[in-house]
Amino acid sequence: MLSSRRYAARCIGMSFFIVLSSLWALEVDLLSKEWGMSWRNSGIGSSERISVDSAILHDNQGERTECASSPTWMCDQPQDRQYGTLFASGSLKRPTCALALIIAGTPRSGSTLIQAIAKTTLNLLAVHSHITYADIGYWRFHRHIRKPPNSDLSTMRKVLGRVKKRTQVVLVKTHEYDPELLELCNQSLVVTSTREITDMMRSWVGAGWLRRNCTDLTVMLSKVTKNQRCWQRHAGVRFIYSDIESDKRFALIIMMSAVMSKLSI
């Protein structure tokens, strides 16, 4: 019987052929160009293993051109017509808030840890800069777990009701791409995270999400890559799982700097 690591490695070979045809970029920036900073030039060694992010950034220039020239590119199309939109359809009103802090990492890439780091950041800013924030959890969770659409709408009405007037920051997490989140508040800060593909696949299996089946893993990887590619168009901060694990304090500093800049603190 193959070990989990060898099995995942075999699946990755298949996945590369089907999903990621070119994987040559082995370095990934931690931050977007507006921050002008990476793990390498900050003195922290960047992982030399291949992640979903490296594949996306490798062809990012071509994708950016396609996005700019084609309004029908997949990121601009409705992701799930069955559930529809919340704001564009008039089903719900947008809350009054200054910044949507969107944690949009790939599944099992440390996004829950990043969400905790973001909440610590907001708690510190609440104490020292007197900001107000609301943590609304997972965006459209009932859609995520495929509950009926009417259940999703009623739940989101209650969730957004927690965002009181004069709330400055809304913290929200998602794995699915949803452009409506970018319009949740006056401005947004998208934080993405990725992980080395072998480890990520093993984590999916270990968490009981999928069987050790190459076809299932390949389909999942394709979906994850598409969602991440869409979010990377808007990312203000990009993390890699191994780097967060090695230095959580530095991740907190990065998060703090990004939020303070957006809020002009």
Per-residue tens of pLDDT for the chain, all 265 residues: 445 555 455 554 444 433 333 322 223 333 333 333 333 333 333 344 444 444 444 434 444 433 343 333 567 665 667 788 889 888 899 999 999 999 999 998 999 999 999 999 999 999 999 999 999 999 998 888 878 878 888 899 999 999 998 899 999 999 999 999 999 999 999 999 999 888 888 888 888 887 777 888 888 888 888 889 999 999 999 999 988 888 899 999 999 999 999 999 9
- Tokens 């052929």 -> residue: 17
pLDDT for the residue numbered 220: 85
Any idea what the Cα angle at residue 191 is, between residues 265 and 71, rounded to 5°? 110
Q: Per this entry, what is the length of the chain? A: 265
- State how far Cα 20 lies from the chain centre: 19
Where residue 73 falls (left for φ over 0; alpha for ψ -120 to 50; beta otherwise) is beta
- CATH number of the domain where residue 237 is located: 3.40.50
Any idea what the Cα angle at residue 128 is, between residues 123 and 134, rounded to 5°? 35
pLDDT in tens, 229-264: 999 999 999 999 988 888 899 999 999 999 999 999
Where residue 183 falls (left for φ over 0; alpha for ψ -120 to 50; beta otherwise) is alpha
Three-state SS letters, 188-199: EEEEEEECEHHH
> What total of structural domains would you count in the chain?
1
Residue span of the structural domain in which 152 resides = 4-263
Of 12, 13, 39, 14, the residue nearest 193 (C-alpha): 39
Q: What's the count of helices (H) and strands (E) in the chain, helices before strands?
A: 10, 5
Q: pTM value?
A: 0.73
